Chain A
Amino acid sequence: MPASSARSREERAAVRQAVSVSVATGLYGISFGALAVAAGLDVPQTMALSLLMFSGGSQFAFIGVVGAGGAPMAAVATAGLLGARNGLYGVQVAPLLAAHGWRRPLAAHLTIDESTAVGTAQTTPGAIRAGFWWAGAGVFVLWNAFTLAGALLGDALGDPTRYGLDAAAAAAFLALLWPRLAGRLARATAAAALAVALALTPLVPAGVPVLAAAAVAVVVGWTARAGGAASGPHPAAA
């Protein structure tokens, strides 16, 4: 992180943007914490996910599969597949950050929708680095703080269905999906994935229907003609 006091105007703007994204994203760590506990994890397990996995979509998916009674391996596979886009973000931001030594794995850990979106939205090299690092570190700190608050709150609430927390989990996935539904190919893929998952639910063990839906996307993505789906990062999904 550039610590010089003579920060350019672009860099200060990038930091301001990063801070506001961090606050907005960090806040919904509360819902992740509460939903993780409702899905049957304890507080240390919930915190391990936010500290070590640190990718909102993958974390919600992991507790979704575990909460539905899916096999641990299915939860690992679903979380990993949802994290695949972070690998592509890494390809995009690595040359811009030019991080070396210990900063490289640190940059990798902080590579999520928000840090990539804020970083790549800047115009100067200094502002790109400032935006990425401030958004990454800001989301990390606040996401974990609010996860802890949510987990403790969820623990105190007791029966999750009484407070509608099962419905909140469904709404969380819909909110993560919503900004990605631009374009016909994305909407068609979502509809097909939904149909496949529900059709398979009575037939195969929990967790497998979601993975089967991912296979639909691989087929569509590989065979469809170019120019369909947008592939940029969406700040709505950590």
Chain B
Amino acid sequence: MSPDLATWLAILAASAVCFGIKLVGHLVPEHWLAEPRVARTASLVTVALLAALVGVQTVTTGQHVTVDARLPALAVAAVALALRAPFVVVVVLAAATAAGLRALA
């Protein structure tokens, strides 16, 4: 199977899974998911996945943990978020920081 075909299949499968989850939410009786632990766990899974993705995107290259221009860029993003900057501004500031540091190096 070509990598391109594998990517397409993954896109379609993931989209079907995401739609399926949304549809199930609309179809199941309300009390099925009334258990507070379900809502809490779903919320924490979101937090954990996003935190792990921040770490992997910032300080890993392949299977190595590496520190490069991405880490100071993330620090700039954190400051921008603390100052309540909008999403697009946060992302652009991080990109500009990394690009600037690399241009200087």
User: Taking beta carbons and an 8 Å cutoff, which residues of A are in contact with B?
Assistant: 24, 27-28, 30-31, 40-41, 45, 48-49, 52-55, 57-58, 60-62, 64, 66, 68-69, 72-73, 75-76, 78-91, 93-95, 99, 104-105, 107-109, 111, 161-178, 180-181, 185-186, 189-194, 196-198, 201-202, 205-206, 209-210, 212-214, 216-218, 220-222, 224, 226, 228-231, 236-237
Going nearest first, the 9 A-B pairs with the smallest beta carbon separation are: A90-B25, A221-B41, A164-B98, A171-B94, A213-B52, A167-B98, A72-B10, A217-B48, A167-B73
User: Which residue of chain A is the closest to B1 with respect to CB atoms?
Assistant: A72
A173 contacts B53, C-beta separation under 8 Å:
yes
A168 contacts B92, C-beta separation under 8 Å:
yes
- The winner among A28, A164, A189, A194 for most chain B CB atoms within 10 A is A164
In the complex, what distance in Å separates the CA atom of A205 from the CA atom of B47?
22
In the complex, what distance in Å separates the CA atom of A192 from the CA atom of B47?
11
CB A229 to nearest CB in B, in angstroms, measures 5
> Assuming A53-B14, A76-B10, A171-B93, is B87 touching A193 (CB within 8 A)?
no
In the complex, what distance in Å separates the CA atom of A181 from the CA atom of B99?
28
CB A207 to nearest CB in B, in angstroms, measures 9
In the complex, what distance in Å separates the CA atom of A178 from the CA atom of B92?
17
Q: What A residues does B56 contact at CB under 8 A? A: 64, 68, 197-198, 201, 209-210
B44 contacts A186, C-beta separation under 8 Å:
yes
Give chain B's interface secondary structure class.
helix
User: Taking beta carbons and an 8 Å cutoff, which residues of B are in contact with A?
Assistant: 6-15, 17-19, 21-28, 30, 32-33, 36-60, 62-65, 69-70, 73-74, 77-78, 81, 86-88, 90-100, 102
